């Protein structure tokens, strides 16, 4: 199978984007891993697929695979790239694009330049829906790891996130704690892990150890989850600049059942063809 693709990124969180409308695409976990491999393949954090929607009220289906081949429910940086990809490929001319994912519908608002704002929907906090093993819902949960007890927040943006508050993001033990929390038995579907340093009520530093991809230069759903956790802990206001290693996102959340909005850039690096 020969596939046309675009290599894109959102603040260095990088993707292989494939149009499965204009070409026949048959992928499985092994083929995804081959595409994502940074030595034997193209290399990326996620593989993103553009499909015809099953829901007549939306424009596209947006399918997301991590580099380890796992299919997942949401990808925020990928959603911004998705919007500019489908317009560049003339699959739509719309400024507001609705896409369905495995976890719900996202609204992509194309702004000036390379900026896209995404309505990421409202955060999910009920433990059973994250999913996270806890008898009751709380703002902070104890998580026993490696003989120590961490204080985490648990938030889903369609995909599961654990958020820790740290004094210094740059010195946070991401490589040591990331995989241990990602695979903790209290997260039956595994989990993305955010390490958040609060600079003020309107700015944070954040590093994310992503489920199925490891530490990435940016994580859109992770930035949303961190701001939700920070607001629930009364550490943050409703509009927050999130500084990730790859650059900054602006996250807005008015609280409660309001949607979380994420605004940031996208970039296309190159286009190509690959034989699978």
Ligand X SMILES: N[C@H](CCC[C@H](N)C(=O)O)C(=O)O
Residue 61: in which H helix or E strand, if any?
A: strand 60-66
Cβ-defined contacts of 254-260 (< 8 Å, 24+): 255/231, 257/122, 258/122, 259/119, 259/120, 259/121, 259/122, 260/120, 260/121, 260/122, 260/123, 260/157, 260/224, 260/227, 260/228
Distance from C-alpha of 76 to C-alpha of 119, rounded to nearest angstrom = 10
Flag whether 221 is marked binding: yes
Residue 70 or 201 with smaller CB distance to ligand X: 70
| Smallest separation (angstroms) from ligand X to the CB of 151 | 22
| 219 classed as catalytic | yes
Cα distance from N-terminal residue to C-terminal residue, the chain: 5
| 75 classed as catalytic | yes
Residue 201 or 247 with smaller CB distance to ligand X: 247
Flag whether 121 is marked binding: no
Residue 226, token pair as written in the block: 């961190």
| Smallest separation (angstroms) from ligand X to the CB of 161 | 8
Residue 102, token pair as written in the block: 């495995």
Per DSSP bridges, beta strands 46-51 and 13-19 are parallel
| Smallest separation (angstroms) from ligand X to the CB of 66 | 5
Residue 169 or 260 with smaller CB distance to ligand X: 260
Flag whether 210 is marked binding: yes
Residues lying near ligand X in the complex (CB under 6 A): 13, 45-46, 66, 72, 75-78, 159, 192, 210-213, 216, 219-221
Which of 44, 169, 219, 224 is the catalytic position?
219
Flag whether 66 is marked binding: yes
Binding-site residue numbers for substrate are: 13, 46, 66, 76-77, 159, 192, 210-211, 220-221
Catalytic residues: 75, 219
């Amino acid at each position: 199978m020969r596939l046309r693709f675009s290599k894109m990124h959102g603040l260095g969180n990088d993707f292989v984007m494939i149009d499965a409308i204009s070409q026949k695409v048959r992928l499985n976990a092994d083929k995804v891993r081959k595409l994502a491999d940074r030595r034997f393949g193209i290399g990326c954090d996620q593989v993103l697929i553009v499909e015809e929607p099953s829901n007549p009220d939306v424009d596209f289906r947006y399918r997301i695979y991590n580099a380890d081949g796992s299919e997942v429910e949401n990808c925020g940086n990928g959603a911004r790239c998705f919007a500019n990809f489908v317009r560049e490929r003339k699959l739509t001319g719309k400024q507001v694009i609705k896409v369905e994912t495995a976890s719900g519908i996202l609204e992509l608002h194309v702004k000036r330049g390379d900026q896209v704002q995404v309505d990421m929907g409202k955060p999910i906090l009920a433990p059973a829906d994250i999913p996270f093993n806890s008898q009751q819902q709380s703002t902070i949960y104890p998580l026993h790891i490696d003989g120590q007890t961490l204080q985490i927040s648990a938030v889903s943006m369609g995909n599961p996130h654990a958020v820790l508050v740290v004094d210094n993001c740059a010195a946070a033990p991401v490589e040591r704690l990331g995989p241990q929390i990602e695979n903790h038995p209290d997260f039956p579907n595994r989990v993305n892990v955010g390490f958040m340093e609060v600079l003020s009520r309107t700015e944070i530093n954040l590093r994310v150890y992503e489920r199925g991809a490891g530490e990435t230069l940016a994580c859109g759903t992770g930035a949303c989850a961190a701001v939700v956790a920070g607001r629930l802990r009364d550490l943050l206001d409703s509009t927050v600049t999130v500084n990730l290693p790859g650059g900054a996102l602006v996250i807005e959340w008015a609280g409660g059942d309001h949607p979380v909005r994420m605004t940031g850039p996208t970039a296309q690096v190159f286009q190509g063809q690959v034989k699978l």
